[in-house]
Amino acid sequence: MAEAERRFCCPACELVFQAIHEAGLGTYYRRREQAPGRPAEEPPPGQFAWLDRLEIGERYLAQRPDGTLEASLVLEGLHCAACAWLVERAVGDLEGVEEARVNYATSRLQVRWTREACGLGQVARQVSRVGYRAVPYDPAGQEAARSRDDRDLLLRMGVAGAAAGNTMLLAVALYAGASSDLEEPYRTAFHAVSLALSLPVLFYSATPFFRGAWTGLRHGAFTMDVPIALGILVTFLYSLWATLAGQGEVYFDTMANFVFVLLVGRMLERSARGRVSNAVERLLALRPRSAVRVRAGERQEVSVEELIPGDLVEVVPGCAVPVDGRVREGTAWVDESALTGESAPASRGPGDLVAAGVVNRDGVLLVEALRTGNDTALAQIARRIEEAQVRQAPVQRLADRAARWFVGIVLWLAAGTFVLWLPSGAERAMVVAVAVLIITCPCALALATPLAVSVATGRAASRGILFRGGDVLEAARGLTHVILDKTGTATEGVFELRSVLGDPAGLRVAAALEQRSVHPLARALVGAGLESPPEALDFRAVPGRGVSGRVEGASWALGNLDFLEGAQVEPALRAQAEVAEGQGHTVIWLAREGRVVSAFALADRLRPEAPEVVGWLRSRGLEVLLVSGDRPAPVQAAARALGVEEFHAGVLPQAKEELVRRLQSGGARVAMVGDGVNDAAALAAAEVGIAMARGSDISMEAADVVLLRPGLAPVVETLEIARLALATIQDNLRLSVIYNALAIPAAVSGWVAPLVAAVAMPISSLLVVGNSLRLARRRIEGTPESTEEPVALVPAGGR
Amino acid sequence: MDILFFLIPLALAMSGISVLLFTWAVRSGQFEDLEGPAWRILFDEEEEPTEEKERP
């Protein structure tokens, strides 16, 4: 194809690129800037047989009346509309499939097929063949409830909108008739019709506000719903009286508009939050749910839930161990960083214990299950998180605080106005007092938060930052400390060569030997051996120990000291190695024909942007701590490199959470950034918990913010967006106050005709809307990496 | 201006019908996916070989 090698965000886009070039339209690409994307993830080695088993199928399949089966699957890896199209075509082309349809907003695939000709496993396999992942989705549950609520809200909004439009039309006639008298019976007729139109609004569209206000009042709290409900009731009742008594003005249009605008605000907020929840739920739905059980020598794919203690499970490289157990056979390098923060891979062999969630990097293990399902250490951590989440204090929303004194002030003002106008007669006084209540309608106040939240979370989502709720934005207020996890967060979790001890020529040989190896340390050595390494013959890899082979005529062995089986080591070299280990490095030895020639010091690579991020955080007055479960030496080295003064090493998961609570009890507000299971409890306890999407599921579930982009730069953006959102909410509240400050004198002086109220209310709302939309355009300061381009091509409703 | 007594109920009736239609649209799930249809019009339909059209 073209000159340079190109990377694509997904297989679909690659296909489209080829097609465009073949059609001779390649200039398109020269005009357009290519957004960097994520390469599609490798699908796990064909683990789809379990989906074909009947019992599993029952849970996810629905039978249609015409005999076809239907199922919903969650798709991962969709980056753009082209991806969705590709999946639809690929699955639709399968034998037996009647219909395949992708919901672009939720990345869900709906498939219908004839029972005999196809199966769930085949569908999943086909999806993975084109480069994506599909996992069956259990339709019942949270998702269904949420969509029911969404529909409900939409209907209420529709009714309010229809009523608002029609009452406005009638109101115009009434305004026109206000100056030159409108004769009866038309005036009464218009009033009556407006009344009739407002009834569905009062009894159907506005009920959520009444319910919310009632709940709040029952608990003695003046939430935002109270002034809203008050405003709606007063407006309606007064207008009702005016209609029946035949005098005064009616404000039905004001009421209907008020309700309509508020419902729109709520819908915006919900849809923003819904999109984010979807994205996070999708990430979580992709947990590995199958395992390979070995019984009487037979391998069988089962779902993780079916495993019981005593079962033998086979764990291949790339997969996580599904149970807490003991290794029966096999040796391998395992990665425990998600569980413990330990950065260096550990070697596990027969008799060693492994925990659920530990990832096997190299070598096949046969594990005997000791604890499964809810008994694993992993599950225990999950429970702790639930408890931590329950204990978290609810965020005091700014708007609720404003609502409290707002109601009080308005009531006092109305009472005062009534008293003021009493000399002119009780009826006149009542009319003016009610006008005061109506015009101080808390429209702008009520919209202040939802709009800002909606815009902020939407913008953040397009940049790969998922806020799991509007209150997270407010929780970020007044942060004092930021805790960084080390392995996987501040570091990349990838090892690199730091130094070569002994004979430097040994590096070439090491690179030659590690060409065929897959364990994490191998990559570092191969990467560092720059020129093309010689070939290694008689290559033998002992998983969990090392590799050996013949290079340039001599036999070499590379691995840890035990593997080299008592090869001779010079004392000087050994001393150097000890120094390296003292600095937190992992040392790998190379021996030639039984004599150690070189040693390589490897360490986990710090993220390049990390020191800058730490600098930024500190410049904002935040205290930064580095906390890790890893050994002291690497943690100290990382802290020094980052410029962090306080660091804690060897910290167990519970201790991380306790550290957060200890800081909080001292009055601190803590933000925590982590990715592993060992961070999860602390993430839940912190005011703002930030998790990386490539991290473990549990930490994503426990976190308040999930970062889809790799690296630490998004942390800066997250805090900036939260700060801007908060500032916008405060601005909106101030605008609302200004509006009221202008409107109240007008009302008190008896000046409020319905026209004035009708004009003033939209103005206040528009001001708030306009100010909130500014949030979408403001520059987000951050590390140099942040640009205004959206990072991932997402359909508006995507991840 | 008596005609108003006819026109206004008529307008309300039309309004009512549109609300009913809206309700039907929401209930039948037409608002679930708002981006998909926008993209679908851009996708070409391939010529399907005639054998496939005979699928039941």
The predicted pLDDT at position A799 comes to 31
User: A73-87, A233-247, A310-324, A762-776: which has the minimum mean pLDDT?
Assistant: A73-87
Q: How far is the alpha carbon of B32 from chain A, nearest alpha carbon, in Å?
A: 8
User: A179-188, B6-15, B34-43: which has the minimum mean pLDDT?
Assistant: A179-188
* pLDDT top residue among A541 and A162: A162
B-chain residues near A81 (CB < 8 A): 35, 39, 42
The predicted pLDDT at position A164 comes to 94
Nearest to B32 among A85, A103, A165 (CB): A103
User: Which position among A253, A311, A485, A604 bears the catalytic label?
Assistant: A485
Is B22 at the interface with chain A, CB within 8 A?
yes
pLDDT level of residue A797 (50, 70, 90 thresholds): very low
Is A424 at the interface with chain B, CB within 8 A?
no
Cβ count near A239 (within 10 Å): 25
Average pLDDT over chain A reads 79
Nearest to B22 among A84, A102, A158 (CB): A158
Q: Quick one: which H or E segment has residue A43?
A: none
Dihedral of the CA atoms A183, A184, A189, A191 (nearest 10)? 70
User: A614-662 pLDDT, tens per residue?
Assistant: 999 999 899 999 998 777 888 888 888 888 888 888 888 788 889 999 9
Give me the amino acid identity at A726. Answer: L
The answer to whether the Cβ–Cβ distance between B19 and A85 falls below 8 Å is no
The predicted pLDDT at position A3 comes to 44
Query: Could you please report the per-residue DSSP string of A667-695?
Result: T--EEEEE-SGGGHHHHHHSSEEEEETTS
Asked if residue A450 lies in contact with residue A268, where contact means CB atoms within 8 angstroms, the answer is yes
User: A178-192, A271-285, A753-767, B3-17: which has the minimum mean pLDDT?
Assistant: A271-285
pLDDT level of residue B10 (50, 70, 90 thresholds): very high
Q: How far is the alpha carbon of A257 from chain B, nearest alpha carbon, in Å?
A: 16
The predicted pLDDT at position A689 comes to 92
The predicted pLDDT at position A178 comes to 63
Is A147 at the interface with chain B, CB within 8 A?
yes
Cα(A14)–Cα(A16) distance, integer angstroms:
5
The predicted pLDDT at position A766 comes to 85
The predicted pLDDT at position A794 comes to 34
**Among A518, A521, A517, A543, residue whose Cα is nearest residue A331:** A543
Is A471 at the interface with chain B, CB within 8 A?
no
Nearest to B36 among A103, A147, A158 (CB): A103
A-chain residues near B32 (CB < 8 A): 103, 105-106, 147
B-chain residues near A102 (CB < 8 A): 36
Task: Please check the confidence at residue A339 and state whether its pLDDT lies above 80.
Answer: no
Cα(A87)–Cα(A76) distance, integer angstroms:
11
Cα(A142)–Cα(A135) distance, integer angstroms:
17
Is A99 at the interface with chain B, CB within 8 A?
no
Task: Please check the confidence at residue A583 and state whether its pLDDT lies above 50.
Answer: yes
A-chain residues near B56 (CB < 8 A): 114
The predicted pLDDT at position A199 comes to 95
pLDDT level of residue A6 (50, 70, 90 thresholds): low
* pLDDT top residue among A46 and A442: A442
ipTM here:
0.81
Nearest to B35 among A155, A162, A797 (CB): A797
A-chain residues near B36 (CB < 8 A): 84, 102-105
Cα(A108)–Cα(A71) distance, integer angstroms:
10
The predicted pLDDT at position A795 comes to 33
User: A444-470 pLDDT, tens per residue?
Assistant: 888 888 888 888 888 888 788 888 877
Asked if residue A259 lies in contact with residue A672, where contact means CB atoms within 8 angstroms, the answer is no
Is A346 at the interface with chain B, CB within 8 A?
no
Give me the amino acid identity at A347. Answer: S
- Give yes or no: A485 in active site: yes
Which of helix, strand or coil describes residue A625? strand
Q: Which residue has the tokens 């101030």?
A: A734
Q: How far is CA A750 from CA A246, A413, A432, A467, A738, in A?
A: 20, 13, 6, 46, 19
Task: Please check the confidence at residue A40 and state whether its pLDDT lies above 60.
Answer: no
The answer to whether the Cβ–Cβ distance between A189 and B34 falls below 8 Å is no
User: A429-440 pLDDT, tens per residue?
Assistant: 877 887 787 777
The predicted pLDDT at position A42 comes to 43
Cα(A156)–Cα(A158) distance, integer angstroms:
5
Q: Specify the length of chain B in residues.
A: 56
Task: Please check the confidence at residue A79 and state whether its pLDDT lies above 80.
Answer: no
* Mean pLDDT for the stretch of residues A58-77: 79
Cα(A361)–Cα(A346) distance, integer angstroms:
10
Number of CB pairs, chain A paired with chain B, less than 8 A apart: 62
Is B41 at the interface with chain A, CB within 8 A?
no
Query: Could you please report the per-residue DSSP string of A189-256?
Result: HHHHHHHHHHHHIIIIITHHHHHHHHHHHHTT---THHHHHHHHHHHHHHHHHHHHHT-S---HHHHH
CB neighbour class for A412 (10 Å; exposed up to 12, middle 13-18, buried from 19): exposed
Nearest to B35 among A151, A193, A796 (CB): A796
Is A102 at the interface with chain B, CB within 8 A?
yes
pLDDT level of residue B55 (50, 70, 90 thresholds): very low
* Mean pLDDT for the stretch of residues A558-562: 77
Task: Please check the confidence at residue A793 and state whether its pLDDT lies above 50.
Answer: no
The predicted pLDDT at position A783 comes to 45
DSSP label of A783: S
